[in-house]
């Protein structure tokens, strides 16, 4: 459904914002990838957009474009809108937050440390799997299975991202976690960072890291003790 509204919040560092429209009871979320035209989004910019609804997560704007008749308009009043999102103001440059406007405390640091951990774990994991194949502790078909698992995991994330944008049937989080647990966690990390998918939901991230720990722990236990001892 095509609508008109005004951008009342824009977080340039994280690439998303909210549009307020008199024809919608709640502020409408949009991502920078859904923005078309120039200049870049700014608060109080008047826009045209198409509104969709995805799985009860609230309204979302697609194909957001600056209005041709005017580039700026006052924000609409939030009276009577229990779900309206307040306008966030950028902190002063010397603020202790230091940080990127709109980002939760510690988010940037956590993301950086998480990337460092993964960049350390991936080569260790590859080395361990390579040693296990060379020493015949794992059969050779495991190499093909793990490679196929990476491709399937990346495809599932891309499919879920596309489905989320189109309002189609989604891939369940349990399926994504199962792929990570089986060994697809490197591809899952790649997809999360490059597709910007499942990176802001804290509960999903917690379980994702848990699947990495369980997979790596089970792999080390299996290779260290050997299948004969574990199954005896």
Cβ atoms 47, 19 nearer than 8 A: yes
Q: Tell me: do 116 and 219 sit in the same domain.
A: yes
Task: Give a yes or no: residue 84 inside a domain.
Answer: no
Q: Tell me: do 112 and 189 sit in the same domain.
A: yes
**Domain limit, last residue, from 66, 83, 99:** 66
Task: Give a yes or no: residue 95 inside a domain.
Answer: no
Q: Tell me: do 34 and 132 sit in the same domain.
A: no
Tokens 């609508």 map to which residue?
Answer: 3
Sign, CA dihedral 155-158-164-167, equals: negative
Q: Tell me: do 117 and 32 sit in the same domain.
A: no
Where in the sequence is the domain holding 41, given as residue range(s)? 2-66
pLDDT at 137: 86
pLDDT at 70: 54
Task: Give a yes or no: residue 194 inside a domain.
Answer: yes
Give the separation between CA 18 and CA 8, rounded to whole angstroms.
6
Task: Give a yes or no: residue 195 inside a domain.
Answer: yes
Task: Give a yes or no: residue 155 inside a domain.
Answer: yes
**DSSP, residue by residue, 88-109:** PPPPPTT-TT-S-TTPPTTHHH
CATH number at residue 59: 2.40.50.140
- Walk along the chain (232 residues) and give the pLDDT tens digit of each residue: 788 999 999 888 788 899 998 888 888 999 888 898 777 888 889 999 999 887 667 788 888 999 876 544 444 545 444 444 444 444 444 444 333 333 444 444 555 667 888 889 999 999 999 998 998 888 999 999 999 999 999 999 999 988 887 778 889 999 999 999 999 999 999 999 898 888 878 889 999 999 999 999 998 988 887 655 444 4
Question: How many domains does the chain fold into?
Answer: 2
pTM (predicted TM-score): 0.53
Q: Tell me: do 220 and 135 sit in the same domain.
A: yes
Q: Closest by alpha carbon to 224, among 126, 136, 137, 130?
A: 137
Task: Give a yes or no: residue 80 inside a domain.
Answer: no
């Amino acid at each position: 459904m095509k609508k008109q509204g005004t951008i009342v919040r824009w977080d340039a560092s994280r690439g998303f914002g909210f549009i307020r429209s008199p024809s919608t009871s709640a502020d409408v979320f949009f991502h920078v990838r859904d923005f078309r035209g120039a200049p870049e989004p700014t608060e109080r910019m008047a826009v045209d957009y198409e509104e969709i609804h995805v799985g009860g997560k609230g309204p979302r704007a697609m194909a957001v474009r600056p209005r041709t008749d005017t580039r700026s308009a006052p924000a609409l009043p939030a009276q009577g809108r229990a779900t309206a999102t307040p306008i966030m103001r950028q902190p002063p440059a010397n603020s202790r937050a230091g940080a990127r406007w709109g980002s939760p405390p510690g988010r940037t640091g956590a993301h950086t440390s998480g990337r460092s951990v993964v960049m350390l774990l991936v080569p260790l994991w590859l080395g361990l799997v390579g040693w296990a194949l060379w020493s015949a502790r794992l059969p050779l078909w495991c190499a093909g299975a793990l490679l196929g698992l990476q491709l399937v995991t990346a495809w599932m994330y891309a499919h879920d991202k596309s489905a989320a944008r189109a309002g189609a049937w989604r891939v369940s989080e349990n399926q994504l976690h199962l792929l990570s647990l089986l060994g697809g966690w490197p591809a899952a990390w790649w997809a999360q960072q490059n597709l910007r998918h499942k990176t802001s939901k804290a509960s999903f991230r917690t379980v994702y890291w848990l699947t990495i720990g369980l997979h790596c722990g089970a792999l080390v236990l299996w290779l260290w003790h050997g299948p004969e001892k574990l199954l005896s």
